[in-house]
């Protein structure tokens, strides 16, 4: 893996949302099952958790916020030093390398939604993940699946469930992935 020129020199870092209308429309929420199943294999666990933590802060401060690098690294169980060899800095570098964040002046712009996994990454995954991904990408949904998903999604949100968790909950109760994605999008938009 080539080195990424990202080495924060200050003890804090500004985190802002990365707005990308295309990916924001077709992508998957950072804390979604899709990201956990498929992006985790690409980013690795430290980078995936670092990304999730950065996006969690954007939930509270949607325009951006400042993090203490040492505290954030420690909260994730990672080491931090100003050197590029610390596990936390390497995790942030992997996020940049794979296009889920990008450096900006004094900080990082972070995607809240990740694009579908690229074919080149998918080809390197174990066969079982490739098969699961084929299931995810089948966009054919029966009307009954979609109606069931939408009814459940509306009920979950009206009962007070977090709209960002609806997709995961629909998948957990057996709604097919394409119907769960569409139903969750209908209640969060």
Distance between CA atoms of residues 53 and 73, nearest Å: 10
Instruction: Tell me what pLDDT residue 139 has.
Output: 59
* Residue 106 near residue 10, CB atoms below 8 Å: yes
- Report the pLDDT averaged over residues 129-140: 80
Which is it for the CA torsion 104, 63, 71, 77, positive or negative? negative
Residue 126 gets which letter from DSSP?
Answer: -
Q: Which of 23-27, 75-79, 91-95 shows the lowest mean pLDDT across its residues?
A: 23-27
80 vs 100 pLDDT, higher one: 100
Distance between CA atoms of residues 47 and 95, nearest Å: 6
Instruction: Tell me what pLDDT residue 182 has.
Output: 82
- Determine the distance from the C-alpha atom of residue 64 to the mean position of all C-alpha atoms in its chain, rounded to a whole number: 17
87 vs 135 pLDDT, higher one: 87
Q: Residue 181: which pLDDT band, with cuts at 50, 70 and 90?
A: confident
Beta bridge partners of 13: 67
* Element (DSSP H or E) covering residue 5: none
Distance between CA atoms of residues 133 and 21, nearest Å: 23
Q: Does the pLDDT at position 62 exceed 80?
A: yes
145 vs 131 pLDDT, higher one: 131
Beta bridge partners of 126: none
Burial of 90 (0-12, 13-18, 19+ CB in 10 A): buried
Q: Which of 48-62, 94-108, 109-123, 163-177 shows the lowest mean pLDDT across its residues?
A: 163-177
Distance between CA atoms of residues 121 and 97, nearest Å: 13
* 53-56 long-range Cβ contacts below 8 angstroms, 24+ apart: 54/15, 54/101, 54/108, 54/110, 55/30, 55/31, 55/110, 55/112
Q: Does the pLDDT at position 52 exceed 90?
A: yes
Distance between CA atoms of residues 100 and 55, nearest Å: 11
Q: Residue 138: which pLDDT band, with cuts at 50, 70 and 90?
A: low
Beta bridge partners of 114: 28
């Amino acid at each position: 893996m080539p080195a990424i020129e990202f080495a924060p020199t200050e003890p804090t870092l500004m985190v802002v949302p990365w707005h990308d209308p295309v990916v924001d429309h077709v992508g998957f929420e950072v804390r979604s099952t899709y990201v956990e199943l498929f992006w985790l294999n690409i980013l690795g666990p430290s980078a995936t958790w670092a990304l999730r933590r950065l996006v969690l802060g954007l939930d509270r401060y949607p325009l951006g916020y400042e993090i203490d690098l040492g505290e954030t690294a420690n909260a994730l169980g990672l080491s931090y030093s100003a050197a590029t060899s610390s596990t936390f800095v390497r995790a942030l570098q992997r996020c940049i390398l794979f296009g889920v964040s990008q450096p900006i002046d004094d900080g990082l712009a972070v995607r809240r939604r990740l694009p579908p996994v690229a074919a080149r990454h998918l080809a390197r995954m174990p066969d079982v993940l490739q098969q699961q991904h084929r299931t995810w990408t089948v966009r054919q949904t029966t009307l009954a699946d979609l109606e069931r998903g939408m009814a459940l999604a509306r009920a979950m949100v009206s009962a007070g469930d977090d709209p960002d968790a609806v997709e995961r909950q629909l998948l957990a109760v057996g709604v097919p992935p394409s119907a769960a994605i569409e139903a969750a999008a209908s209640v969060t938009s």
